[in-house]
Amino acid sequence: MKIAILPGDGIGSEIVAEAIKVLETLNRHFSLGAEWAFGDIGGAGYDVAGDPYPLITRDLAKQSDAVLLGAVGGPKWERLDKPLRPEAGLLGIRADLGLFANYRPAKVHAQLVNASTLKPEVIEGVDLLVVRELVSGIYFGQPRGIEVRNDQRYGFNTMLYAESEVERIARKAFMAARLRSNRVCSVDKANVLDCSELWREVVCRVHADEFSDVELSHMYVDNAAMQLIRNPKQFDVIVTSNLFGDILSDEASMLTGSIGMLPSASIGERWAMYEPIHGSAPDIAGQGKANPLATILSVAMMLQFSLDRIDLANKVEQAVEQAINDGVRTADLATAGAVSCGQMGDAVCSRLKALA
């Protein structure tokens, strides 16, 4: 099995180095048999090839069983034209690989309850999954632009969903729920938006036709934003559109205490990509302070979804849990005695090795 590794920018190379240590440990002690090759994306892609998603990276990604991405972006590339900026590379690879389903689990570790800004009784035991549609909706809909009408400039975007796009993301959410607590909450704004009205109708139809064993509820996005803070434990799987999912999953990440903890999987019909949900953190890049656990947990998602090794995914999650339980903390989680990014990677690998 071949993995394309795209470290990207900022802390990308630091966190990915720790994920590679985990893959090496799995090869050596669990006979995983993974091989990997590196590619450039984001600012790194622009620096090397004048393109945030270079052709050579496209080829590498498409010839691999899975892609592991660090993060992209940084002040160095902020003034470039929009299509040349690092973020265009990220949207580019998601669209090019057809990665329509984005899974973002948010699980609160018992030992990290006090790292959140919310009260322990509210977040203890939270374990939810946001399933976000990733390659359509308002981020991609046409027409879009800024133009002058009646002597005034107007900015506009189009929120657009085809029935087939809603059907396929709804199916993914129902299937994920069957492996969890069997509950799906579909989040929309059907009281105001026509696009959401269709979304809700299609979700209901897919549910009735194929997944009536799963409990389905609906919530307007403004209420969902409130409920995530008020009582996050009520949620199992949340399925929603690109824009709403972007916002709600970042909100959900803060339930867990640090954005450095949350992995993600983006999956299409043929390819899949795994990445932490955070960005390139230019403020701490090159200092060894980054938390690599989101990236290491993204490797666990890769083992489960792309490499068909749920046994090893469980071991990686167990090793991370043990490191946390043993009090190993990077600076984003520690009140004192923080370890470096590399030391956290080593701590996970030594516990993983002990599970062999």
Residues near ligand NAD (CB under 6 A): 11, 15, 71-74, 87, 90, 259-260, 275, 278-284, 290-291, 294, 332
Angle subtended at Cα 250 by Cα 36 and Cα 262, rounded to the nearest 5 degrees: 40
- Measured from the CB atom, is 317 or 332 closer to ligand NAD? 332
- Could you give the CA distance from residue 53 to residue 83 in angstroms, rounded to a whole number? 10
Beta bridge mates, 264:
275
Amino acid letter for position 4: A
Counting Cβ atoms within 10 Å, is residue 234 exposed (0-12), middle (13-18) or buried (19+)?
middle
> Is the Cβ of residue 204 or residue 259 nearer to ligand NAD in the bound state?
259
CA dist 209 and 132 (Å) reads 22
In the complex, the smallest distance separating the C-beta of residue 115 from ligand NAD, rounded to whole angstroms, is 12
**Measured from the CB of residue 45, what is the shortest distance to ligand NAD in angstroms?**
12
**Cβ pair 323, 344 in contact under 8 A:** yes
From the list 65, 250, 346, 353, the catalytic residue is 250
> Catalytic site residue 188?
no
| Token representation of residue 354 | 């002990």
Catalytic option among 46, 139, 161, 274 = 139
Question: Strand, helix or coil at 34?
Answer: coil
Nearest distance from C-beta of residue 9 to ligand NAD, angstroms: 8
Among 9, 40, 236, 246, the active-site one is 246
Query: Distance between terminal CA atoms of the chain?
Result: 20
Active site residue 222: yes
Rounded distance, CA 229 to CA 99, Å? 29
Q: 189 an active-site residue?
A: yes
d(CA 268, CA 101): 6
Is residue 62 annotated as a catalytic residue, yes or no? no
Judged by CB, which is closer to ligand NAD: 132, or 207?
132
CA–CA distance, 336 with 256 (Å, rounded to integer): 19
Nearer to ligand NAD, 54 or 73 (CB): 73
Q: Is 326 in the active site?
A: no
Nearer to ligand NAD, 140 or 220 (CB): 140
Choosing from 21, 189, 289, 315, the catalytic residue is 189
In whole angstroms, the minimum distance from the beta carbon of 130 to ligand NAD comes to 15
Query: Which one of 222, 308, 311, 326 is the catalytic residue?
Result: 222
> Measured from the CB of residue 295, what is the shortest distance to ligand NAD in angstroms?
8
What is the distance between the alpha carbons of residues 312 and 35, in angstroms, rounded to a whole number? 16
Q: What is the DSSP letter of 350?
A: H
* Active-site residue list: 139, 189, 222, 246, 250
